[in-house]
Amino acid sequence: MAMSGGLDSSIAAMLLHEQGYELVGITMKTWDYEQSGGNIKETGCCSLESVNDARNVAVSLGFPHYVTDIREEFNRYIVKDFVEQYLAGRTPNPCVLCNTYIKWAALLERADLLSCDLIATGHYAGIAGHDKRYIIKKSKDQSKDQSYSLWGLKQEFLKRTLFPLGSYTKDKIRKIALEKGFEDIAVKRESYEICFIPDDDYRGFLKRQVQGLEKRVDGGDFVDSKGKVIGKHKGYPFYTIGQRKGLNIALGEPMYVKQIKPESNTIVLGKEEELYQKIFTVKGLNCIKYEKIPRGMELSIKIRYKNQGHPGRVYQLDDDKARIELNEKVKAITPGQSAVFYEKDDVVGGGFIEKVEDIL
């Protein structure tokens, strides 16, 4: 049982314990906060407080708890990729990458060492069988659904995974915690920031991670859609597609980041209506519901976590890539973010947005 010390994983453990599962709790140490730099308070899943909270729940329920150190793998794959993505002009999805390549692999490795058959997490999602495959389903609580961040999980991972919270709402889980005497956990503040950037300042993090970055990229050009220079910016890695605030440029009307060109340290600005596109490609494709996505299949496509989904067609190009054609243009399709394909409540697959084809 993956245990962060928070409400969701704690109650997931309690539910499985009540169902008769023999549990072993695992808390993953992914990051040292001093590595983040700056005056950052230790909070969230890697803090000593969270580790102790997870252990206390395990002790109260009567099963063993261990802390496993995956800092080296996390830093090498997740943090390094996070920096490289911004330096390539993209906006990364570190939680998706971590779920796909680090956390599940680490959990299954420890599960095998401890002779455990299954792994479980406190994610709000479900798992079901379909035509000899394992599929991820949306949570009952649509406002907390986390299926979007799990699209990268392979079949060999899913067949050994349990999501105990998939049929619960967040309010119900909090009520259970209070009823069972876990008041401190029930009122814990939820963490929404990236775990290795607890102050939510990714620009400051990049500056501390890449020596001389600020000096190297400062003073690039803002240009309009026709290539005319209209101002100077502070460096292309410090901007994201769709950004309006913090541009520090007055042009008489609202302007937005439309495109990032890292090779020339150029930021293309445009009016809001210029942010809308409908055709893009994804890479790192993972098919879940079907071994191969039927060509031109009409699905609902989410282009970011809180996105409601947009109807469109998916054309799988090969094992790694797909072309997406949305029925209507949508705002700020962002390279580096995930596009996840749904058939009703079922995750069909997903990939990382690579190229938006109708950017000028």
The CATH number assigned to the domain with range 7-122+164-186 reads 3.40.50.620
- Are both 7-122+164-186 and 211-270 of the same fold? no
Tokens 């539910």 belong to 15
Q: Is 195 a catalytic residue?
A: yes
| CATH class of segment(s) 211-270 | mainly beta
CA dihedral 80, 86, 92, 94 (to 10 degrees): 30
- State how far the Cα of 25 lies from the Cα of 107, in Å rounded to an integer: 10
Both ends of the chain: CA-CA distance in Å? 48
User: Which tokens hold the place of 47?
Assistant: 């803090």
- State how far the Cα of 263 lies from the Cα of 62, in Å rounded to an integer: 56
Other C-beta atoms lying within 10 Å of the C-beta of residue 248: 10
Catalytic residue among 45, 98, 116, 287: 98
Q: Domain extents for the chain?
A: 7-122+164-186, 211-270, 274-356
Catalytic residue among 45, 95, 116, 195: 195
- State how far the Cα of 60 lies from the Cα of 355, in Å rounded to an integer: 50
Residue 111 near residue 159 (C-beta atoms within 8 A): no
Q: Is 98 a catalytic residue?
A: yes
The CATH number assigned to the domain with range 274-356 reads 2.40.30.10
> What are the pLDDT tens digits along the chain (360 aa)?
999 999 999 999 999 999 999 999 999 999 876 655 555 555 555 578 889 999 999 999 999 999 999 999 999 999 999 999 999 999 999 999 999 888 999 899 999 999 999 999 999 999 999 889 999 999 999 999 999 999 999 999 999 999 999 999 999 999 999 999 999 899 887 777 788 998 889 999 999 999 999 999 999 999 999 999 999 999 999 999 999 999 999 999 999 999 999 999 999 999 999 999 999 999 999 999 999 999 999 999 999 998 899 999 999 999 999 999 999 999 999 999 999 999 999 999 999 999 998 654
